[in-house]
Every structure is written in structure tokens, then in C-alpha cells.
Structure 1
Amino acid sequence: MLTHPTDPSRVLVERSDLDPLALPAQLRRYEIHLRAIFDWGQGYLSSPHPELGRAGNVCPFAQPSLLQGRFFLAVQPGTPTEGPQLAATLRFYRNWFLDLAPRRLPAAKLTTILLLFPDAPHDEVSRVVDAVQNALKSEYVDEGLMLGEFHNGPPPKGGLWNAAFRPLRSPVPMLVVRHMVPTDYPFLRDDTEQTRAYLRLFGDQIPGPLREQVENDRLALELTEPCADQAGIGAP
């Protein structure tokens, strides 16, 4: 378990912390939710799915993240309310994430923080969680990060290889912070500023299958971003 150096009420839970006696008093009532998400990460995320549309696990990073102890859970008690307070909470975890996993470190791409909202009413989840993700995504992308929304709605976004598949389902509503990786481009290309941030970070390491699409979009948007080694984003 990790405790924030300036706010001891904020903790990040690891799987080894699931003994109820090991959890802080304020989190013991959420043990069932924490356990459900660790099981979801080890099961659903770390396994193939017949509707995925490609070979491999639903998330290629989840299992190594769990194995290396870089899969951190946080809990936000109470009913989340869209607005400045929730945005400030997300920025707090974003900054903590950047302190824990600078991009230059080898384990950075396996590090993730999952912020759970276990008290969220079912009929409010989609409106609040999806809206906050949409409002803050560009801000995160500009820092070289992804902010993903997961709940049992599920979110309406389809899979990359099967548009009918809804991969962002989870048993507890949450928002997830991780580093961007070169294969994230399809999640960003509909927004010019997010495309610009992607090019600043990955302009010299675009995966082969995405190069034609990225180049066509770059030309259409008349973007002339420098390669990653010339830009500040993602630099050591």
C-alpha cells in the first residue's frame, strides 16, 4: 500500500493489501469492491475475448502490471458529482501518477491508477463518469497520459477491431490513469489537439499499421509537429 506523502487520507491499494485488517479503516467497507476489480483485472482484462476482434488479451498490459505490482487502486467514497471538486480529485491522482511513474522509468508503461467510485448510483454513473472523462481527457493527453472510463453501463465506445464490442465494462465504476502508448492513436485522432500531442510524443515511433493513417491525418490537419526527441512532452 502506498500513502501519499502530503495527504495520508489518500492511499493506493495493491492486491497484497486485501486482508481486511491490512486496509485502512476508511476502506474496509470497500474490500468487496477492491477485490472485484483485482479479480476483473486478472480475469477479464488478462484474457482473450471472443468479441474482441483480434488475438490476445483484452488489455495486453494488465497481467504484467498486476505481476509487477504496478496495478494500484484508489477509492473515492460518496456519490461523485460532476464539477470542479471531482476534476480536482482527478488532477490529484494524475499528479501522483506522474510522481510514481515518470515516463523514463522502465516500469512506467505498466503503471496504472484505477480510481473507483463504489458508491455511485447506477443511474448516475454514465452521466458523471463519462462526462468527467470527456472533459478532462485532452488535459491528460497533453501530459502524455490516457484517462479511461469504465463501468457496467457499459460506456458506449466500441472496440478497435469490432465496433459492436463494448470493452470498457467493469463491475465497479472508475476512471483509469495510465501512460499513452504508440498504439493509442485511434483513440485520439478525432481531436486535433490530441493528435498534436500524440505526434509530439510518438512522431518518431508510430507503429507500422498506423503510419499511413497518422500521415494522412497529419497532412489533412496541416500539422507539422516535431519528432518526440525534439519536444518537451515525455522527456526525462
Structure 2
Amino acid sequence: MLIHPEQPACVLVEQFDLTAEAVHPLIRGVETKLLSVLRWAREYLCRPHPDLGRKGPVCPFAQASLDRGMFYLAVHRGETVEPGTLDQLMLTYRDWFRELPPTGGPAAQFKTILLTLPDVPPERANAIVDQTQERLKPRYVPEGLMVGEFHSGPPDKAGLWNDDFRPLYSPVPLLAIRHMVSSDFPFLADDRDSVATYLRLFGANTPPALRARVGAAAREFGLSVPGPPPVNPRTPVPQLADQQGATS
């Protein structure tokens, strides 16, 4: 278990913390629910799905995140949560996420924090998760980060490869923090500032399948698409981290 250096009430739970003889007070009584999140990650995120619309697992990064010990669970207890309290908590975990090693390089893309709400009843939790994601997205995207919503609804957002698939299901309501990847553009295409951030980070290395859509959005918002970087024949061309889409 990792404890925030300045806010000891904020902790990151790892798998062995859930089966220890003496569990942390924050997770006492919800160990089964948190274990179900890990099981969901392995049995759903890490596997193909017949409705996904492409080959490969639902989330291309989940298995590597689990294998590398970079798949962290955070927990907020209580049957109710005020929007301001949850927003501040998510921003605390956002800032902590940036400081967790590795802070750079290809391995950093495998970090993820899932803030779970194990006590909030689904009839309230689903709306809380969706509304929090919508409020906080503008405070994550400019920093190259994504905040994702998952619950048993599931959220009414289609997969990237099948409009009839709703991939953001989870057994426990949660909000996910991860790095943005080049295939995230469809999640960002309807907002000028988000498109500008995407172009800054990935514009010169947009996946081929998304180039037309990125170009159209850039023209719509009056933005320029960076040209491809010059290729030094002595330097290997870097490979894109992901061409499939994160969690969809």
C-alpha cells in the first residue's frame, strides 16, 4: 500500500493489501468488492470481447499494468459524496499520479489509478461518476491525462469500433486516471481545447485510421495539424504506443 506523502487519508491499494491478515481501516469491509475490481480487470479488460469490433483485449494496457504492479486502487468510503469533495480528491490523485514512478518513458503509459466508490448505491453512484468525469475532463486533458467513468450502468458511451457496444462497464463504480494515448482522439473530438491538446501531443504521429478525423476536427476549430517529424536515416523511427484504443 502506498500512502500519500502529505495526505495520509489518500492511499493506493495493491492486490496483496486485500488479502493481508491486518487490512487497512479504509478498505475493511469492502475487500470483496475491491477484489472484484481486480477480477474484472483480468477477466474483462484483459480479454477480447465479441462486441468490441476489433481484435485484442478490451484495454490494450491493462495486462501490462497489472503485470508491472502499476494498477492501483484508491477508495472513497461512504454512501454519499459531495461533488466538491470528490473533485478535490480526484485532483489530489491526479497530482499524485504524475509523481508516481515512472514519470516518463514508454513504461509510464501503463500507470493507472482507479478511484472506487464501493459504498455508494448504484442508483446514485452511476450519475455521480458520469457527472464527475464531465466536470473534471477539462482539468485532466490539458496535462495529457484522461479521466474515465466506469459503472454498472454502463455509461452510455459507445466503443470506438462498434457503436452498439458500451464498454465502460465495471462491477464497482469508479473513476480511472491514466495517460492519454494517440488513439484517444474520438474521446476528445468535440471540444476545441481538447483537440488542441491532442494535436500538441500526437498531431505529428496520429494513427493512420484517425488522420482524416483529426484533420477534419482541426479544420473545424481553426487549428493546424503538425507535419511529420523529420526522419534521420540513422535514427530508428519511434513506434506509436497504441493503435487500438484504450478501454474501448
Give TM-score scaled by structure 1 length: 0.91
Q: 1:3 to 1:48 in 2, by over 3 A?
A: same
166-175 or 208-217, larger mean C-alpha shift: 208-217
- The corresponding residue for 2:130 is 130
Aligned partners of 1:202 and 1:227 also within 8 Å:
no
- The corresponding residue for 1:234 is none
Query: Shift in Å at residue 168 of structure 1?
Result: 0.4
Within a 5 Å distance, the mapping from 1:63-212 to structure 2 comes to 63-101=63-101, 103-212=103-212
- SS at 1:175's partner residue? strand
Q: 1:43 to 1:31 in 2, by over 3 A?
A: same
Listed one character per residue, the Cα deviations across residues 54-79 of structure 1 (whole Å, up to 9, x for unaligned) are 11000010011000000000100013
Query: Shift in Å at residue 143 of structure 1?
Result: 1.0
- SS at 2:97's partner residue? helix
- The corresponding residue for 2:245 is none
Report the identity percentage.
48
118-127 or 21-30, larger mean C-alpha shift: 21-30
- SS at 2:169's partner residue? coil
Higher relative contact order (CA 8 A, sep 6+): 2
- The corresponding residue for 2:217 is 217
- Runs (5+) with no aligned partner, structure 1: 230-236
Query: Shift in Å at residue 219 of structure 1?
Result: 1.5
The residue type equivalent to 2:78 in the other structure is G
Query: Shift in Å at residue 18 of structure 1?
Result: 2.1
95-104 or 209-218, larger mean C-alpha shift: 95-104
The residue type equivalent to 1:186 in the other structure is P
CA distance in 2, matches of 1:45, 1:144: 22
Compute the RMSD of aligned alpha carbons. 1.8
Aligned length: 229
Q: 1:32 to 1:219 in 2, by over 3 A?
A: same
Is residue 24 of structure 1 aligned with residue 24 of structure 2? yes
- SS at 2:30's partner residue? helix
Listed one character per residue, the Cα deviations across residues 33-54 of structure 1 (whole Å, up to 9, x for unaligned) are 1100011111100000011111
- The corresponding residue for 2:55 is 55
CA distance in 2, matches of 1:194, 1:173: 25
Aligned partners of 1:113 and 1:177 also within 8 Å:
yes
Q: 1:24 to 1:223 in 2, by over 3 A?
A: same
- Runs (5+) with no aligned partner, structure 2: 230-248
147-156 or 25-34, larger mean C-alpha shift: 25-34
